[in-house]
Amino acid sequence: MLLSQVVEASQVVRATSSRKLKVAAVAQLLAEAAPDELAQVVAWISGELTQGRIGTGWRTLAAVEAEPAAEPELTVVTVEGTLGKLASTAGAGSAARRRELLAGLLRAATAPERDFLVRLLTGELRQGALTALVAEAVARAAEVPVEQVRRAYMLSGQLPVTAVAAMIGGAAVLAGFRLEVGRPIQPMLASPGATLDDALAEFEGEASVEYKLDGARIQVHRKGSQVWVFTRTLRDITAGVPELVRLVGELPCESVVLDGETLALTDSGRPRPFQETMSRFATVDPDSAPPTSSRDLLLHPYFFDCLHLDGVDLLDAPLSERRTALTKVAAEHSIPALITPDSEAAAEYFDTALALGHEGIVIKSLSAPYAAGRRGRAWQKVKPTHTLDLIVLGAEWGYGRRTGYLSNLHLGARDPEGGEPIMVGKTFKGLTDALLAWQTEEFPRHERARDGHVVYLRPELVVEIALDGVQVSPRYPGGAALRFARVVRYRPDKQAADADTIDAVLALLPPG
């Protein structure tokens, strides 16, 4: 397959807002790919590289001087080979060798192919072909149920692997995917709940009520003496958290997979600020968070779900059964929960959570299975104020005390159909001097353009925003604007795909 075929499909996807047409274009592309090209094609059309990050940024690419080719000749296999060499090139003389490889690749590419490659390499391939859409296209091309593709993807954590299995082996191979201890799965997510009473009523009282901790999501796996710790983005951080590895290794079991949060605590046992917890991940996460404490803080795990125990997979079991397994293996390290409480007991528990320094509570259906990778109504988070995780689209240069700093943030919500983020407001409220300094240093690394007073960013940074509500507004393309928005914190543990959608913003509009 020629690279130009991938580029043409990408252009079709970018040019239409119709999900049906997007899926059709990607499905046709996959149907034409050879077995040894499928993984690369699925990754690229999703805006990813099979090698992950290869350390090639915009400045490196801009420095490459090469005239584009007149006719398309690059193949998928050739491009993948060059990208593999780029990813493995290191050591003395590597910078020159990388420039040579890039120049050769771009010289062999036509102008449209070069544009595609540059956006792919810089993480700016925002064309609406997100993983959910590509998964649907895989199902269509392979003629298998989309739910089967989604489940296999959930269990493998890799859409290219899932696509190859679907296209080559069909439904029978997809059905063989199982939870594998040591291989992370996508975490189940909670949706914002309107009120405590509404959430309890929706589950007809058959609910677990738990503290919503202000920590970092972790997923731990153990098989015999081997322990793995993963983040919510499925990144392996085992080497950087020895205290968690030691604790999990001492649990009374042979194999286990647990979901939970980890926190750094003060001497009095209260949660430290989120940024301080995240500072422990700095040695294994090169994407720096805002400045945090450099103290060597110990992390404490708080588990809330058990997905596997001693050879038994529990993903499809109801939460009531999973909690029993959790209590059996990690009772003293689990988040305390109220089971089937009445409204009065739940309200008191909510007040206690806030008094202890937690964000709020999560209300979970006791009958629901673990819907990995999905944000559904089976888990609902309730907080005292509205918060949204939004994408930073740009920032304006400040004035007054903020002169010389990138300040006023342009905020966008995720398009559930995979299009460009949708702007919903601006704010500079809540920005401390430390955050202003960090933004001014960090934002140029994500820059895609600028004009006289605004630096526009690639959609890569997620920030948590508190707000008093949402109002109808023709000023922004989504038709809504945030009211009294203020920065709570940046979320280095989240990617743009984890941000809240425009639907979540519109759901906060007052009735009528």
**Annotated active-site positions, please?**
212
> Is 304 annotated as contributing to ligand binding?
yes
What is the C-alpha separation between 244 and 232, in angstroms, rounded?
16
Q: Residue 2 region, left (φ>0) first, then alpha (ψ -120 to 50), else beta?
A: beta
Gyration radius of the chain over CA positions: 24
Query: In the Cβ-directed half-sphere of 70, how many Cα atoms lie within 13 Å?
Result: 0
In sequence order, the β-bridge partners of residue 398 are 403
Choose among 335, 388, 381: nearest CA to 359.
Answer: 381
Q: How crowded is residue 192: how many other Cβ atoms within 10 Å of its Cβ? A: 16
Choose among 469, 470, 409: nearest CA to 439.
Answer: 409
> Is 428 annotated as contributing to ligand binding?
no
Q: C-alpha angle 46/50/52, rounded to 5°?
A: 95
> Is 402 annotated as contributing to ligand binding?
no
> Is 381 annotated as contributing to ligand binding?
yes
Q: Where are the beta strands (DSSP E) in 33-104?
A: none
By DSSP bridging, strand 486-490 and strand 386-397 are unpaired
> Is 441 annotated as contributing to ligand binding?
no
Under 8 Å CB-to-CB from 138, ≥6 apart: which residues? 27, 30, 42, 149, 159, 162, 163, 166, 167
Query: In the Cβ-directed half-sphere of 58, how many Cα atoms lie within 13 Å?
Result: 12
Residue 236 DSSP label: B
**CA distances for 52 relative to 138, 160, 344, 457, angstroms:** 21, 12, 49, 21
Q: What are phi and psi of 154, to 5 degrees?
A: -55, -40
CB 424 within 8 A of CB 478: yes
> Is 48 annotated as contributing to ligand binding?
no
Q: Residue 453 region, left (φ>0) first, then alpha (ψ -120 to 50), else beta?
A: alpha
Residue with tokens 């029993």: 324
CB 54 within 8 A of CB 86: yes
Q: Residue 4: which H helix or E strand, with range?
A: helix 3-15
**3-class secondary structure, 453:** coil
> Is 426 annotated as contributing to ligand binding?
no
Q: What are phi and psi of 223, to 5 degrees?
A: -135, 105
**CA distances for 450 relative to 94, 134, 414, 441, angstroms:** 31, 32, 22, 15
Binding residues, as ranges, are: 210, 217, 232, 261, 304, 375, 381
Residue list for the binding site for ATP = 210, 217, 232, 261, 304, 375, 381
